[in-house]
Amino acid sequence: MSGKKSVKDVDVSGKRVLLRVDFNTPISPAGEVADDTKIRESLPTINYLISKGAKVLVMSHLGRPKGKQDPKLSLAPAARRLEALLGRPVRMLPDCIGPEVEKAVESMKPGDLVLLENLRFHAGEEANDSSFARQLASLGDIFVNDAFGTAHRAHASTAGIARYLPAVMGFLMAKEVEVLSRLLSNPGRPFVAVLGGAKISDKIGLVRNLATLADVVLTGGGIANTLLVASGYGLGRSIVDKESLGEAKQMLTAAGQGKIQLPVDLVAARAVDSPEGVNVQVSKFPADMMALDIGRETCLRYAKEIGKAATVFWNGPMGVVESDAFAAGTLSVARAIAECKGITVVGGGDSVGALEKAGVTGKITHVSTGGGASLEFIEGRELPGIACLLDR
């Protein structure tokens, strides 16, 4: 996938460049961008295009307006934040297609920048409607996709538009593809993968692929619960993905002894909202309780494995990280990864949130901007938003 052309491989001078970014950011009750990480990540590509004298048309989605106009999901807050970060005017357009937009684009000069309104205000965006994609494409001469977070979606602005315009990747997309490709083809050894989250059914392909790529896979959360039950342990009232037990058993057998590591102790409680839990061995799990975090001994074992790694990939919390009573395992993993001397890659919203909670975000080699996209990439799937770009 990394053999794709980037924005540096095309002449953008004086051209109308349609730049797909991921400005799907949280908006505060006051109507301002609450976390501008994704906007800041897009700046290298935007600044490069401006410096080369391109006419830059930035486009993104925000939330799930389901094909209807919704003022609460306008990209106006993103335009204000982008303007502040760039220190130059950003003109917010009232729509992403139509006569008014066409007129505004016609009057643009080299180095100008506009932000189109939320793409998902049109049902044609998520439906990858060819007519909508063609209307978008008619506004530009070149398409640059820098929205890795939506690269796993075949939408009009991520894949459809590439049928009508020369399509290349921006700098953020290129960085994501380069880092994640290295995990797949040439990771430093030992390569340790850490996988958590609620359901194993969502990540079976990922667990299976990482069990062949990594030297060790450390598990937590609902994924570990299901693997423990598949190994013959009773886990009381814990969340277990019962439909995936057969596949979980096969996966453990195929991986062989010691490859997929399971918790040896867990933090148990009678309810998710319990003020505290008790540390119990997996072999003595109480029938009236549920597993809500990995235990103390497991935290130490996992930290030791992570400390020896030359490469670490982490996705998914080790327990109910929203509750302080059951966040210790996840925060312990976050700190161990931050202290690791090797290459560290973290993908997925909950894991990124845990890094912030532990105050160690700046100590990670690469924090992926695409949760679902990074997982599908590492699973070995072809991402439509990358597959459609021009080959080198």
pLDDT tens digits, one per residue of 240-251: 999 999 999 999
Give the domains, in start order, of the chain with CATH numbers: 7-174 (3.40.50.1260), 187-378 (3.40.50.1260)
Residue 199 has pLDDT above 90, yes or no: no
Q: Which residues lie closer than 8 Å to 215 by C-beta, 6 or more apart? A: 189, 190, 191, 192, 259
β-partners of residue 217 are 193, 260
- DSSP state string for 279-344: EEEGGG--TT-EEEEE-HHHHHHHHHHHHH-SEEEEES-SS-TTSGGG-HHHHHHHHHHHH-SSEE
Give the span between the Cα atoms of 338 and 144, in whole angstroms: 33
Angle ∠(7,73,60) on CA atoms, nearest 5:
10
Average per-residue pLDDT in the chain?
94
At residue 2, the pLDDT reads 60
Tens digit of each residue's pLDDT (9 = 90 or more) over 139-178 = 999 999 999 999 999 999 999 999 999 999 999 999 999 9
- How far apart, in Å, are the Cα atoms of 75 and each of 38, 92, 120, 381? 13, 8, 11, 31
Question: What mean pLDDT comes out for the span 359-377?
Answer: 89
Give the span between the Cα atoms of 332 and 325, in whole angstroms: 13
Strands in the chain per DSSP E:
16-20, 55-59, 91-92, 113-115, 142-145, 167-169, 191-195, 216-219, 260-261, 265-269, 278-281, 290-294, 311-315, 343-346, 366-367
Tens digit of each residue's pLDDT (9 = 90 or more) over 98-139 = 999 999 999 999 999 999 999 999 999 999 999 999 999 999
Give the span between the Cα atoms of 255 and 262, in whole angstroms: 13
Which sign, positive or negative, has the C-alpha torsion 48, 49, 53, 59?
Answer: negative
Half-sphere exposure of 318 (CA within 13 A, CB side): 33
At residue 352, the pLDDT reads 84
Tens digit of each residue's pLDDT (9 = 90 or more) over 19-72 = 999 999 999 999 999 989 899 999 999 999 999 999 999 999 999 999 999 999
Give the span between the Cα atoms of 139 and 149, in whole angstroms: 23
With contact defined as beta carbons under 8 Å apart, do 36 and 93 qualify?
A: no
pTM of the model: 0.88
Q: What percent of the chain has a predicted confidence (pLDDT) above 70? A: 99
Question: What mean pLDDT comes out for the span 322-348?
Answer: 94
